[in-house]
Amino acid sequence: MSISIVVGGTRGIGIVITDKLKSRGDTVYTVSRSSAGDGHHISVDLLDIKRVELAFSSLGEIDTVRNLVFSQRYRGNGDFDSESTVMLKSTQVIIESLIPFFEESASIVVLGSVLGKFVGEELSLSYHISRAALEQLVRYYAVSLGAKGIRINCVVPGTVLKPEHSTFDKNRITADLEATVPLKRVGTAEDVAGAVAFFCSDRSSFITGQSIFVDGGVSLLSQESLSKKISQRNS
């Protein structure tokens, strides 16, 4: 029986990742401030690092961990210290606390964002910096944990349709973005969960320290190409 822990596994893409891992037979523990229904859960506020350390210093009934997934998001107003605590410090603390519990071929997957490389003016500076830093965190731990057989990779979603999006929002997002995506559709949370599940499998046993974009190819396009696609859509 494989034990998987999904930080932020009770909201958004995290719920879909949790369901994906459960569907293949994993026992999944979600981590968030409050539980979302039945299932295994570790309740902790990621802003409270002392409590995070305490929660992961002893895992009770959990003997070993096969997979660790980070899909948390700071949902505040762009406060730099809080964003850094939730996205970076808590990730560091949880990884290092779980080192004694990881199986020899364990996998860690971190959800990043295309805004770790590009700029979305509607989001804060702290959001952008924390996502860029997550990718460097992944590279650092890939090297430092490699001798233990522990892999770590980053899944980088573009704009995707999430479970909490209303039908109106889904239609608006699809209309706005579909024409700019080389694969001619908008991504879904299931697409992201599929990439996470790949990294949480033996099929990725010789891959570590990598960031994989799940954006339908949008990040490959030049500014000129994007402008042409938008102009064609509006004409």
Q: Around 157, how many Cα atoms within 13 Å sit in the side-chain half-sphere?
A: 23
Under DSSP, the state recorded for 218 is G
Active site residue 127: yes
Query: Which of 29, 74, 127, 141 is labelled catalytic?
Result: 127
**H-type helices in 67-185, by residue range?**
80-84, 90-98, 125-145, 167-177
Under DSSP, the state recorded for 8 is T
Using an 8 Å Cβ cutoff, are 183 and 217 in contact? yes
Q: Around 72, how many Cα atoms within 13 Å sit in the side-chain half-sphere?
A: 29
Phi, psi (rounded to 5 degrees) for 25 = 110, 0
Active site residues: 127
